[in-house]
Amino acid sequence: MADKLINVKLKVWRQKGPKDQGSFKEYDAKNVSTSESFLEMLDQVNENLITKGEDPIVFDHDCREGICGSCGFMINGDAHGPQKSTTVCQLHMRAFKDGDVLVLEPWRASAFPIVKDLMVDRSALDRVISSGGYISTNAGGARDANSILIPKQDADEAMASATCIGCGACVASCKNASAALFTSAKISHMALLPQGQVERERRALLMVEQMDEEGFGACSSTGACSASCPKDISLTNIARMNREFLKASINKKPESSDSGGM
Amino acid sequence: MFSFLTSTVGKKYLMGLSGLIWTGFVFAHMAGNMLMFVSPDAYNIYGHNLVTGKLIYFVEGLLILALITHVVLAINLTLENRKARPSRYAMLGSKEKGSRWASRTMAIHGTIILIFIISHLITFKFGTYYETTVDGVVMRDLFRLMIEIFTQPVYLVWYFISLILLGFHLSHGVGSVFQSFGLLHPAYQPMIKTVSWVYAIVVVLGFLSQPIAVFLFHNNGGQA
Ligand code: FES
């Protein structure tokens, strides 16, 4: 891979804290190798800033291999940048040309308050998970992994839903800041598998309720979420969530205060 | 059930259901109006039978109920969605192209269509009452009113714009109602897309063919 050096101009959203107004600031990234990842380019810019005694640009990241869901911000209005099915940590500078102007903004949603600069607080997604994204299982020694038979198609579909890394790009690119794609991927993942059946209906009710409570908007089926998803989570998950939610609402049993027993 | 109806998902079921009722109505309305191509009398007799039948009260009631549900929920959802996403981005991304224009602008054409429905009712249902006699029965001469109105250029422009927006509104509505109802599946997703577009195009062309015909053949004198 022939290495090329390019110069790009960055317009970065700088915001000192959740209450700060925030504004764009311009930075030059000079002599950037096209083999560098986008975050490595930002590391370089930050090192320069630190040398000059300025505050570095804050952004979330962890694995840098596209699997943890920590990274993510908008590049020129695209969640995770212009490349399809790619997290920003896996985006390389070869996706850009010399002289490009890149506007970097944090995810914008009421449910994702800005922590600083490009970093937002995504714990709303964690609360959606903890409201119902779990299964009952037997304690004791681990059973043989293949003792439960699962049709291949179900396993594949569940796996496709399970690839959601919870980065929040769907929320960020939705005009309604809806978390329908995220929540539905989690509901689908477990509804498709035998292990998820015990809590299946309660899960759909609780997770949708929590999603609404966090202040995410409703789904308008624009498809912007799926188009910007680094894991290509499909819209059919949302259809499944709606179906599960309807079924669960119809079958809903009154919660009893009885704590079990005979 | 109450918590179902107040959830974002439940509201979408109601939006879809009320929209579908109007989807059916709009098609029937368009098809019925095609009788104008048969003869003025056929058109007038059809109108007369509609308003003298008993079914009209039920259908009108249902349509009004569906319209109110649709509009109230649309306002509620739009406000909530704006609250969820108060600030826009500095730039519109290229991935937005993955979403259809019609789907992002439902509230805007929805509002125009609502204004159109009201003005349409004022112009026709509550408009000038001409009378005619067909086979000895005195009835409203809606055909004459229609010719009168469809020969006014200003009205025609408004009619065309509204109808084309209605087409976009319907194409997204019909296409996404399956999603809202939880019926979307990769196997028939392409078919749903086609059906929603074909439906929208047939309805819009059907409605537009009527003023075009009037404009072409009745432009002088307003006599059939
Ligand atoms: S840093 Fe882990 S997915 Fe990007």
Give the pLDDT mean for B112-136. Answer: 92
Cα A40 → chain centroid? 21
Q: Do A129 and A90 reside in the same domain of the chain? A: no
Shortest alpha-carbon distance between residue A218 and chain B (Å): 5
pLDDT value at residue B221: 47
Q: Do A132 and A172 reside in the same domain of the chain? A: yes
Range of the domain at A188: 122-136+149-251
pLDDT confidence band for B178 (50 / 70 / 90): confident
pLDDT confidence band for A1 (50 / 70 / 90): low
Q: Do A90 and A65 reside in the same domain of the chain? A: yes
Is residue A262 assigned to a domain?
no
Q: Do A131 and A233 reside in the same domain of the chain? A: yes
Residue of B nearest to A12 (CA): B90
pTM for this prediction: 0.90
pLDDT at B223 over 60: no
Contacting residues for A190 by C-beta, under 8 A, at least 6 apart: A133, A135, A158, A196, A199, A200, A203
Share of chain B above pLDDT 70, in %: 95
Q: B2-84+98-217, what's its fold?
A: 3 helical TM bundles of succinate and fumarate reductases (1.20.1300)
- CATH code of the domain containing A13: 3.10.20.30
Shortest alpha-carbon distance between residue B56 and chain A (Å): 32
B10–A238 C-beta distance less than 8 A: no
Helix A236-251 to helix A180-191 angle (10° resolution) is 70
pLDDT value at residue B215: 81
Q: Do A212 and A241 reside in the same domain of the chain? A: yes
Is residue A141 assigned to a domain?
no
Interface test with B, best of A176, A203, A209 (most B CBs within 10 A): A176
Calculate the average pLDDT of chain A: 94
pLDDT at A109 over 80: yes
Ligand 1 midpoint to CA A102 (Å): 20
pLDDT in tens, A39-67: 999 999 999 999 999 999 999 999 999 99
Q: Please name the member of B89, B104, B185 whose beta carbon is closest to the beta carbon of A74.
A: B89
Q: Which residue has the tokens 């005979």?
A: A262
Using the Cβ of B167 and the Cβ atoms of chain A, whether some distance falls under 8 Å is answered with no
Q: What is the spatial distance between Cα B22 and Cα B133, in angstroms, rounded to a whole number?
A: 32
Range 87-106 of B in CB contact (< 8 A) with A: 87-100, 103-104, 106
Give the pLDDT mean for B15-31. Answer: 96
A224–B99 C-beta distance less than 8 A: yes
A84–B93 C-beta distance less than 8 A: no
Give the pLDDT mean for B34-40. Answer: 93
Residue B139: helix, strand or coil by DSSP? strand
pLDDT value at residue A142: 82
Share of chain A above pLDDT 70, in %: 96
pLDDT at A259 over 60: no
- Residues in B closer than 8 angstroms to A212, CB to CB, are 7-8
HSE of B53, CA atoms in CB hemisphere, 13 A:
11
By residue count, chain B amounts to: 224
Residue of B nearest to A102 (CA): B91
pLDDT value at residue A252: 84
**Protein residue closest via CA to atom 3 of ligand 1:** A66
- CATH code of the domain containing A174: 1.10.1060.10
pLDDT at B75 over 80: yes
Among the residue ranges A41-55, B21-35, B97-111, B152-166, the one predicted with the least confidence is: B97-111
Task: Please give the C-alpha separations between residue A213 and each of A246, B88, B90, in angstroms, as whole numbers.
Answer: 18, 22, 28
pLDDT confidence band for A185 (50 / 70 / 90): very high
pLDDT value at residue B130: 92
- Residues in A closer than 8 angstroms to B97, CB to CB, are 227
Beta bridge partners of A114: A120
Ligand 1 midpoint to CA A120 (Å): 14
Is residue A260 assigned to a domain?
no
pLDDT confidence band for B28 (50 / 70 / 90): very high
pLDDT value at residue A262: 44
